[in-house]
Amino acid sequence: MTCVEWTHPSTVAQAIEALADGHGQAVAGGTTLLDLLKLGHETPKRYVDLGRLPLRDIAVTQNSVSIGALASNSQVANSELLRTEFAAISESILAGASQQIRNAATVAGNIMQATRCPYFRTVDWACNKRQPGSGCEALRAAGPGHAILGTSNHCIAVHPSDFAVALLAFDAIVHIQTPSGRTSLPLAEFYLLPGETPQRENRLPPASLIVALEIPRKMEARRSAYLKLRGRASYEFAAASVAAVLTFKESRVAKVSMALGGVATAPWRKPEAEALLIGKQLDRDSIDRFCDELLADARTLPETAHKLPLVRGAIHHVLARLAEQ
């Protein structure tokens, strides 16, 4: 690794200033960044250490829960309120990484983490996400972990975050500090699909920082769950995952939101599919119709075709689990 400059701002304004010239890289827990440096990824001229910023609190109001960007994954997963009212949030974090990594990693870093596509992480292979215009090795030699939703002719890398999938199901909001002021964006609009510019993964403006994640607080959202399917039980990224939030009225679905992970280039949700479940009982036929619409845009390769029945099974399992609660 190359020796670089470090700066240690104590305020958000100082951190924004240190990023303003475009040569800095923000560092929080650093659990993803260190991996990429070891693998030979390009080193920025300056690291901006965010560790001293006052962004670790979980603030609760009648209408929402605000999670500071530097709150650790463990802090959020173990919050009694989040475990009670937003079970899928806690479950998604506990399903990812080891306890040591959860202690160090931050929630903003979690939703910003880099893909685990092996062609992105190994600098010897062509990757449009790492080096725009170089090509996508995955399209020529896909693996079982690549995406089937939200793909393009330039990238089929899966988004790795479990936490972001659960946040999407709860209509979370991303609060951002930019050089010109504070702004907010629904998580549903935060991520970008690869299209022709896979190197652009989100709508975070240059020289800006995520300062908080907000989750609307609705009592009917208490019935939620997260299911992660993976090749092994420990320290593995999702082959397919499902976060679901349901409200029932007289045994029929009154409200539903569902997000998928492990199968798409960004956390995946389709409100048009959710509308098919409103007013329905959760039987096999209604869930199958929901799955058909939710997965209608899937593009599979021989190496990824198994993900369709895998995620359909996960959806059936989660919805049956919530219906029994």
What pLDDT, on a 0 to 100 scale, did the predictor assign at position 221?
65
Cα distance between residue 159 and residue 201, in whole Å? 10
127-160 confidence digits (pLDDT tens): 999 999 999 999 999 999 999 999 999 999 999 9
68-93 confidence digits (pLDDT tens): 999 999 999 999 999 999 999 999 99
165-221 confidence digits (pLDDT tens): 999 999 999 999 999 999 999 999 999 999 999 999 999 999 999 999 999 998 666
Residue 236's pLDDT band (cuts 50, 70, 90) = confident
Residue 2's pLDDT band (cuts 50, 70, 90) = low
Average pLDDT, the chain: 94
Using left for φ > 0, alpha for ψ between -120 and 50, and beta otherwise, residue 5 falls in beta
What pLDDT, on a 0 to 100 scale, did the predictor assign at position 307?
98
Which of 71, 89, 57 lies closest to 217 in space, CA to CA?
Answer: 89
What pLDDT, on a 0 to 100 scale, did the predictor assign at position 178?
97
The answer to whether 68 and 55 have CB atoms below 8 angstroms apart is yes
Q: Is the pLDDT of residue 1 over 60?
A: no
HEC sequence for 25-71? EEECCCHHHHHHHHCCCCCCCEEEECCCCCCCCEEECCCEEEEECCC
Q: What percent of the chain has pLDDT over 90?
A: 86
Bigger pLDDT: 249 or 2?
249
Domains, the chain, ordered by start = 1-49 (3.30.43), 220-324 (3.30.390.50)
Cα distance between residue 154 and residue 151, in whole Å? 8
Q: Is the pLDDT of residue 3 over 70?
A: no
Q: Is the pLDDT of residue 262 over 70?
A: yes
What pLDDT, on a 0 to 100 scale, did the predictor assign at position 232?
82
- Lowest-pLDDT range of 23-32, 105-114, 228-237, 294-303: 228-237
245: amino acid identity, one letter? V
CB atoms within 10 A of CB 72: 21
What pLDDT, on a 0 to 100 scale, did the predictor assign at position 231?
87
What pLDDT, on a 0 to 100 scale, did the predictor assign at position 33?
86
The answer to whether 262 and 236 have CB atoms below 8 angstroms apart is no
Interval 44-51 mean pLDDT: 93
Which of 198, 186, 96 lies closest to 154 in space, CA to CA?
Answer: 198
